[in-house]
Structure 1
Amino acid sequence: MGEVPATRHFVLVHGICHGAWCWYKIASLLKNSGVKVTAVDLGGAGINPGNADSILSFEEYNKPLIDLIPTIPEDEKIILVGHSAGGLSLTHATHVFGKRKISVCIYITAAMLRNGFMTDEDVQFIPDIADVVDFNFGLGPDQPPTSAIFKPELQRNLLYKCSPEEDFTLASMLLRPGPLMVLLGAKFEGDNSGKVDKVNRVYIKTAKDEVLKLENQELLIKKWPPNEVMSIDTDHSPFFSKPNELHKLLLKASTMYCG
């Protein structure tokens, strides 16, 4: 593949229950390719000190990403990479910064919704996870659940079916409840200028996904078509199961849209 200019800066954004730790293979591969890499912990994730049951807005959850982007020098081209629910974080960032700061967004089997969950139709694109997670009720038992974590006995087959045993073991030790309430409440309004649509987007499908099924991924792509669609024949966690293949696709996408 050859070296990529170091002016490219990949910012890696995890999905629900995960943290920056899930990118350890991809971050290593990208750094060895000569690019800059930052993996971020969102609110209440990874080693972030927040608590998912105390986070009451999507903006608060996504603040670590929104605070990071302005600190990246102007001469570095930002490639945002989001996995699963991390797609909402990418779209929120494009609403805030537009093409002025972001060269391309890469959605990996992710929630790619132009305005977040604005309508009932938007919610229908995302599978019902009620049967596969344990809920926490931070606002009280008579209120909607504030956070959720995948049931331990289902994590292997749902998230890491094609992944090495060691990575599943690592993940099972590090997963934290994710702020379900604020994710489902993510709504991005106010972009009448179309600046969000001007940011290049690439979608990477995962063909053997048991969380966001392939048909759901294709519905998301059809609703808000990206510039490019790529595919990996693996589970919901290609950063574990197919890191070399994912690394090549990330470099390819950055080459296509970073000049």
Structure 2
Amino acid sequence: MDKWRLPLTCLCFLAPALALMVAAVEAAPPAVKAPAAAAAARHYVLVHGSGHGAWCWYKVHNLLRRAGQKVTALDLTSAGISPIDPNSVLTFPYYNKPLIDFLASLPPNEKVVLVGHSAGGLSLTHAIHMFGPKKISAAVYAGAVMLRSGFITREDLAIGFPNISEAVRLGFGQAPDRSIMMTSFAFLPKYLRKVLYNRSPEEDIVLASALLKPAPGHAMLAARFNSSGVDVDGVPRVYVKTMMDRVFKQEVQDAMIKKWPPHKVVALNSDHCLFFSAPEQFTEVLLKV
């Protein structure tokens, strides 16, 4: 059997969510017009945050393609349609392997614009440390974790790992030494509207409720990066502030911006998940990068 063929039971499970996505795309507003500076198609690589997957970008993905751009949205290990148990993902390089493998597979002269949301910012920074400006023409942190070396200090943890313990359920698994430790976390359904999607359309909250998965929290907390001679600061960075965010509040985003100043800061009146609450405005920002 083709290894990519989904079992019939999986297709039945996904059918309602897929129907919602198709309906939303069909009802989407007119394509965002690309500015003159973005006339030539570029390749945008979209990286999701905790619990989400490639599916969360469906509006932005569609708008970018309609503006003539090339787009790739990835599922990181254990996310989206990945069959991997998040409780078995214990290192950040393993979690981020799909992005690193994708960038390594690009033709020698091709560069991409990386776009990361929330914890997806860690994935962008890891990729920048691995490839630098050789493969990455720009990196866009959208309400995302932006720490130059990952979680090195207590301050890094304080600003890069939000305190939303009341909104998540912890998962536990076995450490390499056979002890039990926190390995994952999942967003509680009753907090989705209050914390994540406070300005997002109801249909997108329904979609997310069907598709959100536990995130490999232990692997994320273990994210630490070393450039090994790569020109990390040679990659232009844009930080998109999410002004109505209840996950990364303004003082947290400002602290990350101050700690590792990007080349440009843009503010949008969106909740944490701007791909749902402000997709057109966010796409316009991406086309101007």
TM-score tier after normalising by the smaller chain length: over 0.9
Per-residue deviation, 1:56: 1.4
2:111, 2:136 within 8 Å by CA — same for their partners in 1? yes
Between the aligned partners of 2:113 and 2:100, the Cα distance in structure 1 is 14
Q: Which moved more, 1:14-23 or 1:144-153?
A: 144-153
2:216 corresponds to 1:182: no
2:274 corresponds to 1:242: no
Between the aligned partners of 2:218 and 2:152, the Cα distance in structure 1 is 14
TM-score with structure 1 length normalisation? 0.93
Between the aligned partners of 1:167 and 1:161, the Cα distance in structure 2 is 11
Residue in 2 that maps onto 1:144 = 181
1:5, 1:35 within 8 Å by CA — same for their partners in 2? no
**SS at the partner of 1:249?**
helix
Residue in 2 that maps onto 1:2 = 34
Between the aligned partners of 2:96 and 2:55, the Cα distance in structure 1 is 17
**SS at the partner of 1:48?**
coil
2:165 corresponds to 1:133: no
Residue in 2 that maps onto 1:256 = none
Residue in 1 that maps onto 2:103 = 69
Per-residue deviation, 1:194: 6.0
Q: Identity across aligned pairs (percent)?
A: 51
Residue ranges of structure 2 left out of the alignment (5+ in a row): 1-32
Q: Which moved more, 1:39-48 or 1:132-141?
A: 132-141
C-alpha deviations, 1:199-222, integer Å up to 9, x for none?
110000001100111110010000
Between the aligned partners of 2:282 and 2:80, the Cα distance in structure 1 is 22
Match of 1:37 among 71, 90, 113: 71
Between the aligned partners of 1:26 and 1:177, the Cα distance in structure 2 is 23
Residue in 2 that maps onto 1:164 = 201
C-alpha deviations, 1:1-33, integer Å up to 9, x for none?
436345410000000000000000000000011
| Match runs of 1:15-30 below 5 Å | 15-30=49-64
Letter in 2 for 1:79: V
Residue ranges of structure 1 left out of the alignment (5+ in a row): 254-259
TM-score with structure 2 length normalisation? 0.84
Per-residue deviation, 1:150: 0.9
Letter in 2 for 1:137: F
For the structure 1 residues 32 and 76, does the alpha-carbon distance in structure 2 shift closer, same or farther, using more than 3 Å as the test?
farther
**SS at the partner of 2:87?**
coil
2:110, 2:135 within 8 Å by CA — same for their partners in 1? no
Between the aligned partners of 1:2 and 1:166, the Cα distance in structure 2 is 27
Between the aligned partners of 1:249 and 1:230, the Cα distance in structure 2 is 8
Between the aligned partners of 2:105 and 2:40, the Cα distance in structure 1 is 17
2:41, 2:68 within 8 Å by CA — same for their partners in 1? no
Structure showing greater Rg:
2
Between the aligned partners of 1:108 and 1:196, the Cα distance in structure 2 is 19
2:130, 2:227 within 8 Å by CA — same for their partners in 1? no
2:84 corresponds to 1:50: yes
Residue in 1 that maps onto 2:120 = 86
Between the aligned partners of 1:194 and 1:77, the Cα distance in structure 2 is 16
Per-residue deviation, 1:185: 0.7
Between the aligned partners of 1:217 and 1:131, the Cα distance in structure 2 is 21
RMSD: 1.6
- Total equivalences in the alignment: 252
Match of 2:134 among 80, 100, 104: 100
For the structure 1 residues 2 and 33, does the alpha-carbon distance in structure 2 shift closer, same or farther, using more than 3 Å as the test?
same
Between the aligned partners of 1:210 and 1:60, the Cα distance in structure 2 is 29
Letter in 1 for 2:246: E
